[in-house]
Structure 1
Amino acid sequence: MAIRVGAHPANGFDRVALDFRGMPGYRVRYENTVTRDGSGQRVRLPGNAYLQLVFNPAQAHNEQGESTLTSPPVNPVRVGYDELVSYVLNGDYEGYVSLALGLAERNGFVVRQFQRGNGLHTVYVDIARG
């Protein structure tokens, strides 16, 4: 699994893309708060609005429990784009991977998916800039 973020000011959106070895189901919606899966502990994520992404079945760890992400964002990562302020991996628990986005404001978004030539599946979220 991999997580990539990018700003696309000329096109009016910021993007978060996730790569998976198989296509998981997913749910994306705004939440009032961000919590960690399993513990329910609140995450202080920079931003004024929170978009929660949940993927299933998915995992961001191997059979030994080690993260498969190069730099797992278990603590909030500030990116400081116009709309995407920060993100955090707030869950990798029992077949669910959760990624929360801290946004400047509650704007429209679109979710798309595709299979890449190398067999990986990508799900990406474009968040409109206000």
Structure 2
Amino acid sequence: MRRFLVLLASVAACLGLSTLPAAATPSYCGLTWGSLDKSNPNYSAATLTDVRAGRHQCFDRLVVDLAGPAAGYLVRYVDTVTEDGSGAPVPLRGGAFLQVVVNAPAYDSAGNPTYRPGNRTELVNVNGYETFRQVAWAVSFEGQSTIGLGVRARLPFRVLVLDAPARVVIDVAHYW
């Protein structure tokens, strides 16, 4: 039913209809997120230790686990996710691409890896997810780590920094 209401509102907008009955105005799960860049410039001594994903009723969730106090981030839609340093493109499936940069390296102060993806092109299995299409490793370079997130379309998202345990969380809505 919700998809029908979203379609109805889209058709009404295309036809120039300015109003729909209140019951037909879609509000997907009450989410008020947008799709513009989100950032927090903070750095910490944390290191990246894992990347995982989960499905929820209204959104798909990407979690970047950290050892140490939670770090800052930059999450934004881009035409192509690239590796820092080399500029090499990171191939991704999906209709839109989120570049997830966490201000924490995937290596310790001695240069030893704290996160080693088993498969750089498929960090987590997102088969069957409503929104996510692929999660790929880009690089950890100069104190920050970059992950490519392929999604179905350019959809609203939010970013949370959480403690106990420390992590950066990216939620991408299933619909507008």
Q: TM-score, normalised by structure 2?
A: 0.64
Q: How does 1:1-130 map to 2 (within 5 A)?
A: 1-8=49-56, 11-20=57-66, 21-56=68-103, 58-63=104-109, 65-69=111-115, 71-77=117-123, 79-80=126-127, 81-116=129-164, 120-130=165-175
- Alignment size in residue pairs: 124
Paired with 2:151 and 2:142, the residues of 1 have a C-alpha distance of 27
Write the letter of the residue equivalent to 1:18. Answer: V
Relative contact order higher in (CA < 8 Å, ≥ 6 apart): 1
CA contact (8 A) 2:71 2:168 kept: no
Paired with 1:72 and 1:65, the residues of 2 have a C-alpha distance of 19
Paired with 2:142 and 2:119, the residues of 1 have a C-alpha distance of 18
CA contact (8 A) 2:53 2:61 kept: yes
Q: Which has the higher helix share?
A: 2
Bigger radius of gyration, 1 or 2?
A: 2
Paired with 1:65 and 1:47, the residues of 2 have a C-alpha distance of 33
**Structure 1 runs not aligned, ≥5 long:** none
CA offset at residue 3 of structure 1? Answer: 0.9
Q: Which has the higher strand share?
A: 1
Q: Percent identity?
A: 35
